[in-house]
Amino acid sequence: MKKTLIIGGSGFIGSFLIKELDLKKSINFDKKQSPFFPEITILGNILDEEKLDKSFKDVDSVILLAAEHKDDVSPINLYYDVNVNGTKNVLKAMDKHKVKKLIFTSSVAVYGLNKDNPDENFEVDPFNHYGKSKWQAENEIKLWYKNNNDKSITIIRPTVVFGERNRGNVYNLLKQIVLKRFVMIGDGKNKKSMAYVRNLVSFLKICNKKNKKGLNIFNYVDKPDLTMIKLVNLIRENMGYKKNNFKIPFLIGFFIGYVFDFISIITNSKLPISSVRIKKFCSRTEFSSSKLDLIFKPPYTIYEGLKKTIKYEFIDKNEIDITFESE
């Protein structure tokens, strides 16, 4: 029985993905134990070639999710060790075991900030080490494909992914609004592309079923893009709160971010506010999904995804014992 190897499946996206797959035909390789699927998990680091090699038994497709992705990874070389060298290790193992189907999750971070709705052919301009390392990993995959194009490769560039149990930036925004601590920084007219995790997983599953040879790249975005004002008001509406039009100018907000950066350094602690996060919050992060729209209709709208997340996290008051950290 041939199986799908999910590398990095113990995290947020992987946990939702594995739930949708046939467990008898799936293997999860991760440095952390899966909280939901320990019975199919092999513990190992993507940088450990020997352990990685052993996970390839009876595998005919690979979904590579593993990555260093948070804003504050230290030392910086970890981005390149894991995201680039780890990808090289996977490609080497695939050659050894004659596995020709790969689905790789990259990121819209390769485009940089404040771009004009970039599609998959847009010039790359990553602004941080995460984006740079993901772009280098993509290039390694393209070179691997060029050396032998008898393969099926799908590179997916998701925008920020949110959903139940996630503790990334979208959750932090939701929480601040729910606790009535949120203050808008900037004019709020910047648009944000987002992706609901169940929709992204649905697309990953479809890609894994296809065996068409070639190399395809897709942005993953759930449309429509929302301005920060519309997004915040939508969240407030779902919580039954009134609208609040108070705003802090961007420069003042950015200065506040630097103050928190300084506090974080002297206290050696990670804080929910930073200059990088404020810069990302106020930036335009809008991406084209025209190529994706031709072949995929997500099972949930962006509004349904937000409502489901808000309901699960803040209205139903579930006892949430397992959560996932991300940006």
E strand segments, 44-190: 59-64, 101-105, 152-158, 160-162, 184-185
Task: Indicate if 171 belongs to the active site.
Answer: no
Identify any residues that bridge with 299 across adjacent strands, giving them in sequence order: none
Q: Which of 79, 130, 196, 220 is catalytic?
A: 130
- Pairing, β 160-162 against β 191-196: parallel
CA 100 to chain centre: 24
Q: Mind giving me the DSSP string for 246-311?
A: -EE-HHHHHHHHHHHHHHHHHHT---S--HHHHHHHHS-B----HHHHTT---SS-HHHHHHHHHI
Q: Does residue 79 contact residue 68 with C-beta atoms inside 8 Å?
A: yes
Residue 193 host element (H or E): strand 191-196
List residues with catalytic annotation. Answer: 130
